[in-house]
């Protein structure tokens, strides 16, 4: 770290710019960018590209593979005067453009930008438009206070148009632009804060989505019920078996999220179905659970009383996403962030920090589940907040809307700045 840099001045700079940055966030939040609203997503994408253009970034737009979604945005700033004998280090910063909220849901819940003494509520404030603003704060400060570092790095900013839909093509796009030689892929999902502790994500669960279908035989529920084989009755047993796969001690969760079946009450139902997901951190635990799930295929315990006609169960695994397990690359980045926080806590910097960085693993997926496979990855670098994906609010406080804490922006940005400068210098030294 350059000891000549006074972090008090960086802190003052960040605090002075915060009102304007929060206003920019307010404008982004005002745009509905539900994943299946490509017009809104693309509007946010264009706004994002325009925001980073003054820092020297050029934009590439890539339509998501699913035409119902918007365009991914990749912003690049190539290192200035890179060495002819060695490549410049690459650092990727990742966010996304979409949210989970429809425009109707926002209106019905009066879910919009709202400031209180300690929080700012609004769709996407925490997940993840606040993270995009954090990227802006960090890079603007590095350019101003560490210009040599800023110019020595090839920066890649990748914005997913459909992260909430877990699209695979964005992961492929990241590999295309970032590659396996990047120093890091830094994901700016919202962070967690407990008093003076910020947690950073170093692992996430893998997930499988599945659909279970049951075919039985219809019959009149009054005059010939004995001839029927109830698909709903069979599905009820299947649901119990599937739910029993969960093992909290192994951090394995199996959930049935929706069910369907039957038509009218005077008919034995011939069809029923359930949709669900399975999640685990450990790959071996995940794989064993998938074996148990698939073993339910062809189950047949419910039969008609008249002739033994059986129900038939079919298990369809719709998609799987690899877990992001604990690994050396993520742990190395965590150490850098911890060292940066410790330096800011040192009295010699005169910032008077008292923050620490702790590791966290999360059950939800992010773009880090893709990037960790080819680049050291860390997540949760955005501002602190909570209630992600929540739009409802009740008077008793049992339901509350998504929010960020504006007081977290400056300290989190300072830590990110100090850490990324460390990372950039280490990466430059490594390729000499």
For residue 100, what is the DSSP state? S
| Terminal Cα-to-Cα distance of the chain (whole angstroms) | 18
Helices 130-145, 7-29: inter-axial angle, 10-degree rounding: 150
**Digit-coded pLDDT (tens) for 282-304:** 999 999 999 999 999 999 999 99
Show the tokens assigned to 160.
């997913």
Query: Any idea which residue has 């062809």 for tokens?
Result: 298
280: helix, strand or coil: strand
> Is beta strand 356-362 parallel, antiparallel or unpaired with respect to 71-77?
unpaired
Q: How many whole angstroms separate alpha carbon 277 and alpha carbon 208?
A: 5
Q: How many whole angstroms separate alpha carbon 411 and alpha carbon 18?
A: 12
> Is beta strand 385-386 parallel, antiparallel or unpaired with respect to 206-215?
unpaired
**Digit-coded pLDDT (tens) for 50-92:** 999 999 999 999 999 999 999 999 999 999 966 556 778 999 9
| Domains, in order of start, for the chain | 7-205+323-430 (3.40.630.10), 206-321 (3.30.70.360)
Nearest Cα to 132, choosing from 233, 57, 68? 57
**Cβ distance 93 to 186 under 8 Å?**
yes
pTM assigned to the model: 0.92
Cα three-residue angle 425-430-432, rounded to 5 degrees: 100
**Cβ distance 378 to 337 under 8 Å?**
yes
For residue 329, give the H/E element and its range: helix 328-345
- 122 in the Ramachandran plot: left (φ > 0), alpha (ψ -120 to 50) or beta? left
Q: What is residue 1's predicted lDDT score, i.e. its pLDDT?
A: 45
For residue 63, give the H/E element and its range: strand 58-63
> Is beta strand 197-204 parallel, antiparallel or unpaired with respect to 356-362?
parallel
Q: What is residue 427's predicted lDDT score, i.e. its pLDDT?
A: 86
**Cβ distance 41 to 70 under 8 Å?**
yes
Which residues of the chain fall short of a pLDDT of 50? 1-3
Q: How many whole angstroms separate alpha carbon 92 and alpha carbon 374?
A: 12
**Cβ distance 303 to 194 under 8 Å?**
no
Beta bridge partners of 256: 276
**Cβ distance 425 to 336 under 8 Å?**
no
Q: How many whole angstroms separate alpha carbon 389 and alpha carbon 365?
A: 13
Q: How many whole angstroms separate alpha carbon 378 and alpha carbon 329?
A: 9
**Cβ distance 397 to 387 under 8 Å?**
no
Q: What is residue 349's predicted lDDT score, i.e. its pLDDT?
A: 62
Q: What is residue 354's predicted lDDT score, i.e. its pLDDT?
A: 85
> Is beta strand 192-194 parallel, antiparallel or unpaired with respect to 197-204?
antiparallel
The values of phi and psi at residue 316, to 5°, are -115, 115
- DSSP codes of every residue in 20-49: HHHHHHHHHHTS--BTT-HHHHHHHHHHHH
């Amino acid at each position: 770290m350059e000891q000549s840099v006074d972090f008090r001045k960086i802190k003052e700079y960040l605090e002075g710019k915060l009102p304007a940055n929060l206003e920019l966030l307010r404008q982004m939040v005002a745009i509905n960018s539900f994943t299946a609203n490509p017009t809104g997503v693309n509007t946010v994408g264009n706004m994002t590209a325009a925001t980073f253009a003054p820092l020297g970034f050029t934009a590439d737009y890539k339509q998501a593979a699913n035409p119902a979604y918007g365009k991914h945005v990749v912003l690049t700033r190539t290192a200035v005067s890179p060495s002819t004998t060695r490549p410049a280090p690459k650092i990727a910063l990742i966010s996304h453009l979409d949210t989970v909220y429809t425009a109707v849901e926002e209106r019905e819940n009066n879910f919009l930008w709202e400031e209180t003494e300690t929080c700012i509520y609004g769709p996407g404030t925490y997940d993840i438009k606040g993270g995009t603003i954090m990227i802006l704060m960090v890079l603007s400060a590095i350019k101003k206070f560490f210009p040599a570092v800023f110019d020595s790095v090839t920066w890649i900013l990748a914005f997913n148009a459909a992260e909430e839909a877990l699209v695979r093509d964005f992961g492929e796009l990241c590999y295309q632009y970032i590659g396996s030689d990047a120093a890091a892929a830094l994901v700016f999902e919202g962070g967690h804060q407990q008093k003076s502790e910020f947690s950073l994500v170093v692992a996430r669960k893998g997930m499988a989505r599945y659909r279970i279908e049951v075919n039985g035989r219809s019959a009149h529920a009054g005059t010939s019920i004995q001839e029927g084989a109830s698909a709903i009755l069979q599905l009820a047993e299947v649901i119990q078996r599937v739910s029993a796969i969960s093992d909290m001690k192994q951090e394995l969760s199996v959930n049935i999220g929706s069910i369907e079946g039957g038509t009218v009450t005077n008919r034995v139902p011939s069809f029923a179905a359930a949709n669900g997901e399975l999640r685990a951190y450990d790959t071996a635990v995940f794989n064993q659970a998938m074996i148990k799930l698939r073993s339910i295929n062809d189950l047949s315990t419910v039969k008609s009383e008249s002739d033994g006609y059986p129900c038939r169960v079919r298990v369809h695994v719709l998609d799987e996403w690899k877990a992001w397990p604990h690994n050396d690359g993520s742990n190395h980045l965590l150490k850098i962030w911890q060292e940066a926080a410790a330096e800011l806590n040192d009295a010699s910097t005169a910032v008077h920090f008292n923050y620490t960085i702790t590791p966290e693993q999360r059950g939800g997926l992010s773009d880090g589940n893709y990037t960790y496979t080819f680049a050291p990855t860390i997540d949760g670098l955005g501002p602190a907040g909570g209630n992600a994906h929540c739009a409802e609010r009740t008077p008793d406080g049992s339901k509350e809307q998504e929010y960020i804490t504006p007081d977290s922006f400056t300290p989190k940005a300072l830590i990110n700045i100090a850490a990324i400068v460390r990372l950039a210098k280490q990466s430059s030294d490594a390729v000499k």
